[in-house]
Structure 1
């Protein structure tokens, strides 16, 4: 039977499927692992698509119960994300300021690396997918250096996959930094979606084997 899932997770996966952002096949990851699925959020590049995507982020953030007063989007993919998520939250009556960063500091005009509203006291980082977690940890350092607290990390897809230290990047953030995390969808949701939409059995079996070998809690 397909795993239990949220409405917003299934809508997000349907959206990713529509835009070919969720692909099935064989994909070599930076880690060297060969994955039977791949997610590239950059494929969702239209107004209607971003609106649906942001709605999923806003729903997941609300569901997580994280207390926050500001959003931050790491350059580059986090920039359109944080802006559209703020718009989605405004649709539900919450007007949240957002900030993003430049890759390189600006040496003229207002200068600096941060753009947008001043960081709040409790900031949620909005990004797409965490692999090694390097970019998010850089964002954490930047936010803390500015005197703010990182209230949480919100991403699109949690691959629920072990990193180098046998923990998922999200679990490592929670355990090492004390930062709560939330995802619009997880690998379990991907499997459930594949089963519900009638993806061929061999592909579903390949995803299950991959999770069995590399998933959090799986034995080596």
Structure 2
């Protein structure tokens, strides 16, 4: 899929994706680092929305509403809604939550609406502990809507808390699928074809062998 390569090109150009030696929050020493916080201007968020839209449409998932997790998922939901309209002529509503309930005006915790029995896509950038996603799942389920899928930018596919294929909701005893725009396998394929960056491939494969989960 051309847009996966385009997304990695974009991330390298913006220095979102870097190669070298990095200490992760988990304590692991990684040969690469993905920092989505550097995507912070108008052009960036427009492009990100397009990449999410392509990923959503490629997944063939059925959905009615986009839900952005507070706070990083909020601009993602807005830009993805715009991209779905501009590129696929789909007029999809979006909603997002506040982290604190508003005590005046409409006194709500949501901007926009989650409608009962509708199918929801939850959007976030990169999952770390999963707290924001779990809160979003809880909100959607409280409104008696259905979660179609969860979309993020990048899946490192590592053992432990960073495994992002599914996320468990303990209250409902359900596992929800997480789809990423790119995975570590996409990055490996990219390096295989990139003469400039191919030199980083050996270290990345060693790291993958040590910490990676099986392909799914």
How does the TM-score come out when normalised to structure 1? 0.87
Asked if 1:147 is matched to 2:144, the reply is yes
Following superposition, the deviation at residue 26 of structure 1 comes to 1.7
**Are the aligned partners of 1:8 and 1:184 in contact in 2 as well (CA < 8 Å)?**
no
**Are the aligned partners of 1:131 and 1:169 in contact in 2 as well (CA < 8 Å)?**
no
Structure-1 residue corresponding to 2:194 = 197
The 4+ residue runs of structure 1 with deviation greater than 6 A are none
Cα distance in 1 for partners of 2:168, 2:153 equals 16
Following superposition, the deviation at residue 49 of structure 1 comes to 2.2
Specify every segment of 5 or more residues in structure 2 that has no aligned partner in the other structure, as ranges.
none
Cα distance in 1 for partners of 2:69, 2:114 equals 13
Asked if 1:206 is matched to 2:203, the reply is yes
SS, match of residue 99 in structure 2: strand
Specify every segment of 5 or more residues in structure 1 that has no aligned partner in the other structure, as ranges.
1-5
Following superposition, the deviation at residue 18 of structure 1 comes to 1.2
Following superposition, the deviation at residue 133 of structure 1 comes to 2.4
Structure-1 residue corresponding to 2:57 = 62
The two structures, once aligned, show a CA RMSD in angstroms of 2.0
Q: Which of the residues 73, 91, 95 maps onto 1:95?
A: 91
SS, match of residue 130 in structure 1: coil
Asked if 1:26 is matched to 2:18, the reply is no
SS, match of residue 114 in structure 2: coil
Q: Which of the residues 159, 179, 200 maps onto 1:182?
A: 179
Q: Which has the higher contact order (CA 8 A, sep 6+)?
A: 1
Q: Per-residue displacement from partner, 1:121-145 (whole Å, max 9, x unpaired)?
A: 1110011112332321221011111
Q: Per-residue displacement from partner, 1:17-42 (whole Å, max 9, x unpaired)?
A: 11111111122222111111111112
Q: Per-residue displacement from partner, 1:78-116 (whole Å, max 9, x unpaired)?
A: 01101000000001110100011111111111122211x
Structure-2 residue corresponding to 1:12 = 7
Aligned residues: 209
**Are the aligned partners of 1:163 and 1:169 in contact in 2 as well (CA < 8 Å)?**
no
Cα distance in 2 for partners of 1:53, 1:203 equals 25
Structure-2 residue corresponding to 1:168 = 163
Structure-2 residue corresponding to 1:3 = none
**Are the aligned partners of 1:162 and 1:214 in contact in 2 as well (CA < 8 Å)?**
yes
Asked if 1:71 is matched to 2:69, the reply is no
SS, match of residue 133 in structure 2: helix
Greater shift, 118-127 or 195-204, is seen at 195-204
